[in-house]
Amino acid sequence: MMRRFKADLHVHTCLSPCADLEMTPSAIISAAVERGIDIIAITDHNSAENVIAAKKAAEDTSVTVLAGMEITSVEEAHVLALMEDVEGIMKIQDVVYENLTPGENIPPLPPFDKGKPGGFFQVVVNEKDEVLDFNKRLLIGATSLSVQEILNTIHLLGGLAVASHIDREAFGIISQLGFIPRDMKLDALELSPNTGMEKARRLFGEYGSFTWITSSDAHCLRDLGRRTTGFFMKQPTLEEMILAFKNIDGRKTEWGRE
């Protein structure tokens, strides 16, 4: 039977250098359960090392976790990769790591800026919040992959590719490329919480042929689920979401289609 699933497909964990330390996979899942979110995608910058913990933390809960990543292209545009399973996202991670700006992430010494509790440390944890590692790569940097190469990699591995926050003045595909080529194989465009539907139509109406979604881009627990997209489908699987993104067989996304 078809039903509506509430999805937040852009969530950072404590692995992202710009996210709060409170964003552990277990805390994210608890908050998602409380807020009635059915599907989340873990999308850390250029890494997927906390996806396993999030999937484990979600076992025996109502929340489905997609294996995701927010990849920075050579043009400094952010692209979300959404995969069903850990193996798929790990293959993408291999490609991203091979092409990531070399260098080491060096966290600041205490005292830390009070306005930024945690962050910088790129913490890899398990589902019980135990620290497994600190990722030393420059995850905040860009890869040497073009947007097109990123899309090809994601699609070759059976994933969905979404242009992140196209309304932002930095790190969005429009801010970085100037426009979205019509033939670009993006499965969806994401609008940030700063842009409502009316404003989106006014600013981005020319891209109406693409599927539009909206998500939280949460870097702290408070923001989780502040924007979500409804998916009408039978199961909370990537396979069903692919149909919903394409508006096939009665599956559809709610945002941007009414």
Residues 171-200 within binding reach of Zn ion (CB under 5 A): 171
**Does residue 167 touch Zn ion according to CB under 5 A?**
no
If phi > 0 it is left, if psi is from -120 to 50 it is alpha, else beta; for residue 41 that is beta
Element (H, E) at 168: none
Closest among 121, 163, 127, 130 to 19, alpha carbons compared: 121
**Does residue 78 touch Zn ion according to CB under 5 A?**
yes
| Least separation in angstroms between CB 12 and Zn ion | 6
Among 13, 164, 228, 253, which residue interacts with Zn ion (rule: CB under 5 A)? 164
| Least separation in angstroms between CB 43 and Zn ion | 6
The stretch near Zn ion (CB under 5 A) out of 58-66, 77-85, 99-107, 145-153 is 77-85
Number of residues that bind Zn ion (CB under 5 A): 5
Residue closer to Zn ion, measured from CB, 78 or 252: 78
Among 217, 223, 240, 254, which residue interacts with Zn ion (rule: CB under 5 A)? 217
Residue closer to Zn ion, measured from CB, 171 or 207: 171
Residue closer to Zn ion, measured from CB, 163 or 200: 163
How far does Cα 172 stand from its chain's mean position? 13
**Does residue 251 touch Zn ion according to CB under 5 A?**
no
Q: Is beta strand 188-191 parallel, antiparallel or unpaired with respect to 212-214?
A: parallel
Residues 25-64 within binding reach of Zn ion (CB under 5 A): none
Number of H helices, E strands in the chain: 7, 11
| Least separation in angstroms between CB 59 and Zn ion | 25
Find out whether 128 and 26 touch, Cβ atoms under 8 Å.
Answer: yes
- Measured N-to-C along each axis, helices 51-58 and 25-34 cross at an angle, to the nearest 10 degrees, of 40
| Least separation in angstroms between CB 248 and Zn ion | 28
- Strand-pair partners of 143: 100
The stretch near Zn ion (CB under 5 A) out of 75-83, 143-151, 198-206, 224-232 is 75-83
Give the HSE-up count for residue 17: Cα atoms under 13 Å, Cβ half-sphere.
15
Residue closer to Zn ion, measured from CB, 42 or 95: 42
- Which segments of the chain are extended strands (E)? 3-11, 39-42, 64-72, 78-83, 123-125, 131-134, 160-163, 188-191, 212-214, 229-233, 252-253
- Cα–Cα distance measured from residue 218 to residue 215, given in angstroms and rounded to the nearest whole number: 8
Point out the residue whose Cβ comes nearest to Zn ion. 78
The stretch near Zn ion (CB under 5 A) out of 28-36, 122-130, 169-177, 243-251 is 169-177
The stretch near Zn ion (CB under 5 A) out of 29-37, 90-98, 111-119, 217-225 is 217-225
Q: Which residues bind Zn ion (CB under 5 A)?
A: 70, 78, 164, 171, 217
